[in-house]
């Protein structure tokens, strides 16, 4: 973004679409003297101070030293230095370790275990297969051919068949028990009968062909999967085959969502200064996709007493608030955290959008993630703070870091990391438009968010990617 482009009157929507708040861009034009007066274009969902106005935006403010905060890390009438984005994610992942260690395993039915993490190794309760079985439809044969074919057949699930004598064959189905003294299974397409009804092979056979011997996959007592494995549909099938009806699993973290802001509508079109609540419908399924059990969604508005009561009475493992994380007249999250004696672990992150996000320990066994009110900024907060914390509480392994090259250049923030919606296209990612803090159009079409370092990234440069839950294999079923 050039100064000339701003002074020639580029509209605020275009500026916002490139991922910057208008005030932030004007602040940069003013050589870091601070945000200009006025508000950013676009609705601020539950946030009464623009996203860019929180924390240091210019070189001078970035270098300043804030006065000391109180013992909980809350500043005295200011906002202290924001936490670098990688460090904020690491703090969130570490924050819940002691809390996770105190959570007792639960016994869940196979139907309820999808997406959970095994709290104990999965050990075979039987041999697999538990008896010799036919791997194909065909004939069980004994000795060299040709063979006399018995009239009866052997089906899967039938009682133990009679032994075969040399020179005998019997029709058999896939999965059926092998008769005693069987030499091999002749596939249906590899045999023919002559005029006398004798069976002949049409190709060479080997001893034991197409027979799955008992214990081929595992023996009773073998460890099939270690503790810590995520329960996928395939794990459910393996557990059932191995004889399980229930599994010992790490319980889902319980989450409550508190939606703040008097300007929010729950239905209909925006009107008269009111806007639709985008986060209330979006956050619960997103949190479920991250492994949480959402126990309640409460609409609190801009009521400090109601927020204090809700936080104080909550027994959830994680509280998620929307908006209200700044220092405006109706931004009540910080005052409430002070009242409940919370320990502020992260207060602002060097990331755009989402700079005013926060993480606090409200009780020994409870944390609060404060999301900014702008929708895409809230998504940034989910991926930065909520996802690592929920991974720890769920005992999920941290996702492997990976990246792909950008097809196009992405402009960066001078000092902060940017998270930009991208679409996967072969071995590259394509940055998407409509990526301003208040926009969801870009992320709704995205496969991932690209982590763009301060200063930006050129075309062809490899950038780290944060997968979105619905674009991650094996996780979509967690929405249900």
pLDDT one-digit tens code per residue, 431-459: 999 999 999 999 999 999 999 999 999 99
Indicate where the chain has its CATH 3.90.105.10 domain(s): 106-127+217-250
> Helix (H, G, I), strand (E, B), or coil: what is residue 338?
helix
- Distance, in Å, from the CA atom of 401 to the CA atom of 31, rounded to the nearest integer, reads 36
* DSSP letters spanning 294-326: EEEEEE--S-HHHHHHHHHH---SEEEEES--S
Are the C-beta atoms of residues 23 and 38 closer than 8 Å to each other? yes
* DSSP letters spanning 6-44: HHTT--HHHHHHTT--HHHHHHHHTTTS-PPSS--SS--
- Fold classification of 1-103+251-480 is Molybdenum Cofactor Biosythetic Enzyme; Chain A (3.40.980)
410-429 residue pLDDT tens: 999 999 999 999 999 999 99
In the predicted model, residues of the chain with pLDDT beneath 50 are: 1-79, 473-480
Indicate where the chain has its CATH 2.170.190.11 domain(s): 133-212
Phi and psi torsions of 142, nearest 5°: -125, 125
Highest CATH level, class, for 106-127+217-250: alpha beta
Average pLDDT along the chain: 84
- The correct CATH number of 133-212 out of 2.40.160.20, 2.170.190.11, 2.130.10.30, 1.10.3470.10 is 2.170.190.11
Which pLDDT value is given to residue 7?
A: 30
* DSSP letters spanning 448-474: EEEEEPTT-B-TT-EEEEEE-GGGSTT
Which pLDDT value is given to residue 219?
A: 96
Indicate where the chain has its CATH 3.40.980.10 domain(s): 1-103+251-480
333-350 residue pLDDT tens: 999 999 999 999 999 999
- Distance, in Å, from the CA atom of 240 to the CA atom of 234, rounded to the nearest integer, reads 10
């Amino acid at each position: 973004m050039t100064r000339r482009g701003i002074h020639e009157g580029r509209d605020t929507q275009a500026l916002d679409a490139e991922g910057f708040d208008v005030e932030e861009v004007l602040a940069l034009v003013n050589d870091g003297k601070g945000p200009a007066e006025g508000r950013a274009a676009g609705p601020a969902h539950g946030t009464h101070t623009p996203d860019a106005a929180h924390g240091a935006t210019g070189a001078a403010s970035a270098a300043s030293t804030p006065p000391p905060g109180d013992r909980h890390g809350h500043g005295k009438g200011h906002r202290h230095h924001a936490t670098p984005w990688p460090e904020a994610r690491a703090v969130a992942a570490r924050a819940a370790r002691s809390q996770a260690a105190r959570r007792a395993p639960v016994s869940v039915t196979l139907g309820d275990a999808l997406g959970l993490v095994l709290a104990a190794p999965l050990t075979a309760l039987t041999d697999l297969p538990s008896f010799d079985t036919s791997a194909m439809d065909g004939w069980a044969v004994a000795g060299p051919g040709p063979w006399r074919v018995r009239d009866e057949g052997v089906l899967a699930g039938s009682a133990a068949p009679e032994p075969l004598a040399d020179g005998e064959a019997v029709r058999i189905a896939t999965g059926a028990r092998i008769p005693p003294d069987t030499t091999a299974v002749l596939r249906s397409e590899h045999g023919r009968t002559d005029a006398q009804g004798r069976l002949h092979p049409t190709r060479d056979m080997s001893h034991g062909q197409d027979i799955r011997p008992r214990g081929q996959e595992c023996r009773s007592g073998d460890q099939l999967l270690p503790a810590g494995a995520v329960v996928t549909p395939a794990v459910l099938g393996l557990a059932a085959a191995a004889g399980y009806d229930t599994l010992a699993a790490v319980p889902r973290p319980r989450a409550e969502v508190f939606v703040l802001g008097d300007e929010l509508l729950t239905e209909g079109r925006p009107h008269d200064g009111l806007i639709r609540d985008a986060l209330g419908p979006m956050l619960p399924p997103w949190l479920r996709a991250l492994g949480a059990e959402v126990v309640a969604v409460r609409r609190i508005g801009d009521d400090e007493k109601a927020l204090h009561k809700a936080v104080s009475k909550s027994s959830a493992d994680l509280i998620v608030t929307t908006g209200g994380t700044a220092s405006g007249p109706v931004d009540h999250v910080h005052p409430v955290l002070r009242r409940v004696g919370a320990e502020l672990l992260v207060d602002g992150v060097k990331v755009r959008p989402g700079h005013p996000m926060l993480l606090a320990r409200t009780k020994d066994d409870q944390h609060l993630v404060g999301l900014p009110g702008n929708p895409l900024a809230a998504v940034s907060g989910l991926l930065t703070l909520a996802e690592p914390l929920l991974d720890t509480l769920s005992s999920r392994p941290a996702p492997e870091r990976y990246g792909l090259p950008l097809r196009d250049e992405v402009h960066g923030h001078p000092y902060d990391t940017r998270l930009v919606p991208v679409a996967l296209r072969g071995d590259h990612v394509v940055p998407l438009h409509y990526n301003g803090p208040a926009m969801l159009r870009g992320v709704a079409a995205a496969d991932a968010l690209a982590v763009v370092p301060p200063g930006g990234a050129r075309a062809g440069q490899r950038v780290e990617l944060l997968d979105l839950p619905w674009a991650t294999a094996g996780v979509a079923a967690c929405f249900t």
